Structure 1
Amino acid sequence: MTALIILAAGESSRLGQPKQNLIFKGKTLLQLAVDAGLKSDCATVIVVLGANSKQINPIPETATLCNKNWKEGMASSIKMAMLEIDKDATFDKVIIMLCDQPFVNAALLNSLIKKQAETQKAIVACAYNGTTGVPVLFDSKLFGELLLLKGKEGAKKILKNHAAEIAEVVFEKGGIDIDTPEDYENLLTLSD
């Protein structure tokens, strides 16, 4: 089974307000991410909040964790979620995604799962803008490495260390994420 982790613990410092609450297509960015997960073949959706957790509404149908150590960086959120996943041995895959990629949908998440089943690669990453990145699927044999990440390290380190074990899924709008007011303004001019 596949678990989905949505990382949403950052403070959105460059944006000046919680990006999780920005509205796009009538929903918050966080709700769009959760909806993608709930409509996908993922068996559970884990949301990791942190800096702005008190300003973010509870998300039904998810396991919502609050990372009090969010200032330590993304690795602390990944570790917290992985410890939750480790409680259930039936999970043999995990997809890690961010809450600020508004064009992630259930079909994309399912394509990661399908590609892994076809290729048996340990990692299936999205390809965009000449790189690979999130959302990214990890097979259980890499769960230990996810738990060892430290500080500001995201899962990118594991991708670099296992380049030969990566299958790719093209995600043309993967480079669209929201970090600044300008990013959000640009997003509002886009459609599917």
Structure 2
Amino acid sequence: MRVGAVVLAAGGSSRLGRPKQLLVHEGRTLVRRAAEAAVAAGCEPVVVVLGAHGEAVAAELAGLPVQTVDNPEWQVGMGRSLRVGVRALPEVDAVLVLLCDQLQVDSAHLKTLVDTFAKTHAPIVASGYEGARGVPALFSRALLPELEALEADQGARKVIVRDPSRVVEVPLPGGGEDVDTAADLSRLSPRAGG
């Protein structure tokens, strides 16, 4: 079974005012943490979608067995980055979609998503947190056209909520803890010096 991963790292971090992908948490930048987690979970290939601050973000991935792809339309929304990432994958059985700013996501959680997919063959294996299902989430090959067809301003959650009967949920305590604003950054900084 071959599971690829798409790490969405193209955003401009407008609410934060600086590239969140380059913030340091636990000694590594957020984008490197996400890419390393996907690699450690056994995903291959790992595609990192770049956009804003592309060169600086790509430099943070040096030495990792990942492929970067540029989304020239990153400003229009996450749906476009998903399309770019999915189209960059070769033939895979499933794709794991993840963001770089979810602080509780690690390789163990991603491996649990992959293992759950292998056991259940569910069309979608999604993370459950804050009363909802979201990313990181794994989508079977049959659903890749749905990811590619998302509107520019839609994320993978749109596919997850479309038909709850095709989703298996894996709990992710603290999954909603991410970095979007200066307040989030100040919460992160005491732990990481970021």
What TM-score comes out, normalization by structure 1 length? 0.93
Q: Confirm or deny that 1:77 pairs with 2:81.
A: yes
What is aligned with 2:30?
29
* SS at structure 2 position matched to 1:56: helix
Identity of aligned residues (%): 37
Equivalent residue letter for 1:69: E
Structure 2 residues without counterparts, runs of 5 or longer: none
Q: Confirm or deny that 1:118 pairs with 2:119.
A: yes
Query: Quick check: 1:75–1:149 contact (8 Å CA) kept in 2?
Result: yes
User: Displacement of 1:32 after TM fit?
Assistant: 0.7
User: Displacement of 1:161 after TM fit?
Assistant: 1.2
Q: Confirm or deny that 1:176 pairs with 2:177.
A: yes
User: Displacement of 1:71 after TM fit?
Assistant: 1.2
Query: Quick check: 1:44–1:62 contact (8 Å CA) kept in 2?
Result: yes
RMSD value, Cα: 1.4
Q: Distance in 2 between matches of 1:68 and 1:14?
A: 20
Q: Distance in 2 between matches of 1:183 and 1:117?
A: 35
What is aligned with 2:57?
56
User: Displacement of 1:56 after TM fit?
Assistant: 2.2
Structure 1 residues without counterparts, runs of 5 or longer: none
What is aligned with 1:46?
47
Q: Distance in 1 between matches of 2:169 and 2:80?
A: 26
Q: Distance in 1 between matches of 2:67 and 2:153?
A: 23
What is aligned with 1:8?
9
Aligned residues: 188
What TM-score comes out, normalization by structure 2 length? 0.92
Q: Distance in 2 between matches of 1:57 and 1:139?
A: 27
User: Displacement of 1:52 after TM fit?
Assistant: 1.6
